[in-house]
Amino acid sequence: MNRLPDLSPDKSPLSLVELIYGTPIKEVMSADPVTLDRKASMRRAQELMRDKGITGIPVAEDGRLYGIVSIHDLIRAMQIEKLDTTVEDLMTSKVVTLEEAMPLSMAISYFGKYSYGRFPVMNSQQLLTGIITVRDINVTLINRLMQEVTRYEAMLDNDVKPGLSITRVFHTRRHDFEHGGRASTAIKQHLVEHNLDRRLIKKVAIASYELEMNQVVHSIGGTISFKVTPESVEILVQDRGPGIENVEAALTEGFTTAADWIKSLGFGAGLGLPNAKRVSDEFFIHSQIGVGTTVKAIIYLKSKETER
């Protein structure tokens, strides 16, 4: 069997990292799945699987999940000739589920970890809203891959300044002030070497540095990636937790949770995120406690408004 490649952020191309870590399961799953009531018969499960061409059906009532009937359960029912038994009796009741807001990377790792062919997907109220299979993931990946390749091919036709376009990924570690800022310095130097407008370079440097140092100060570590094209610089920072409790507050100037010793180093004044947002043309932040924080900041290189 083919082995899954190492999809850790430092070993994969940026667009792939962005796709699998930045896409929530909600966008990949099949919504409103076919379900069975607890009292339905195994024969009904068999009919549904045949008619709908599926291999597993969640047993759920009003969104509450009780179990799942897989094709294996069905084969077993046929072997012991119990097709008229209720699904409740023969279903798999210990079900591993995923949540809508989790990144696609989580689903991929679950398929590697468990031998199940599908996972029910729950919303934040723990109600069943979808189901995800390897097929759903394949379809999503192929579609996105087509978009990306189309985009790259279109880019090849433009007259690109040689060497400007790059993709780079750096790592940060918790409280590693010695190396923190390395990524920002490197990207700034790259832009300087390509004679970009000084004001644009400054915007990139500020956004990058604030986001990078945020990871060093607040997170348990993560990655900072840059995608430079003639059109824009895209900065993607992703950490592994602990996540921001109140994103809105974190975007307010002066709000800080930094410890005093960090403040004594000149950081943690509560200006980082607002500062990064201010200089960015597009700014997106998503955070989940226990999972981590993702920030995407884009600075246009071809925008007409380049003041500041």
Q: Is 198 one of the binding residues for another protein (CB under 8 A)?
A: yes
Single-letter code of the amino acid located at 69: V
Q: Is 184 one of the binding residues for another protein (CB under 8 A)?
A: yes
Alpha helices in 80-218 (DSSP H): 87-90, 104-113, 134-157, 182-193, 198-218
Residue from 111, 116, 177, 300 binding another protein (CB under 8 A)? 177
Which segment (26-34, 93-101, 114-122, 262-270) binds another protein by CB under 8 A?
262-270
Whether 66 contacts 90, CB under 8 Å: no
d(CA 119, CA 70): 11
Residue-wise DSSP of 263-290: HTTT--SS-HHHHHHHH-SEEEEEEETT
Number of residues that bind another protein (CB under 8 A): 23
Residue from 174, 194, 202, 240 binding another protein (CB under 8 A)? 202
Q: Is 183 one of the binding residues for another protein (CB under 8 A)?
A: no
Residue-wise DSSP of 146-169: HHHHHHHHHHHHS-PPTTT-EEEE
Rounded to 5°, the CA angle 260-262-265 comes to 115
Which segment (31-39, 161-169, 241-249, 266-274) binds another protein by CB under 8 A?
266-274
Q: Is 295 one of the binding residues for another protein (CB under 8 A)?
A: no
Least Å from the CB of residue 154 to another protein: 32
Residue from 56, 120, 180, 292 binding another protein (CB under 8 A)? 180
Which segment (148-156, 221-229, 232-240, 268-276) binds another protein by CB under 8 A?
268-276
Q: Is 164 one of the binding residues for another protein (CB under 8 A)?
A: no
| Number of CB atoms found within 10 A of residue 188's CB | 18
Least Å from the CB of residue 102 to another protein: 32
Q: Is 308 one of the binding residues for another protein (CB under 8 A)?
A: yes
Determine the angle formed by the axes of helices 198-218 and 272-279, rounding to 10 degrees: 150
Q: Is 283 one of the binding residues for another protein (CB under 8 A)?
A: no
Closest to 105 in 3D by CA, of 3, 223, 11, 16: 16
3-state DSSP helix/strand/coil % of the chain, to nearest 5? 40, 25, 35
Helix (H, G, I), strand (E, B) or coil at 65: strand
Q: Is 205 one of the binding residues for another protein (CB under 8 A)?
A: yes
Residue-wise DSSP of 223-263: EEEEEE-SSEEEEEEEE-S---S-HHHHTSTT-----HHHH
Cβ closest to another protein, residue 52 vs residue 179: 179
Residue from 188, 227, 286, 296 binding another protein (CB under 8 A)? 188
Q: Is 235 one of the binding residues for another protein (CB under 8 A)?
A: no
Q: What is the dihedral of CA 171, 172, 178, 182, to 10 degrees?
A: 50
Which segment (37-45, 78-86, 197-205, 295-303) binds another protein by CB under 8 A?
197-205
Q: Is 251 one of the binding residues for another protein (CB under 8 A)?
A: no
Name the site residues for another protein (rule: CB under 8 A).
Answer: 177-178, 180-181, 184-185, 188, 198, 201-202, 205-206, 209-210, 213, 265-267, 269, 271-272, 275, 308
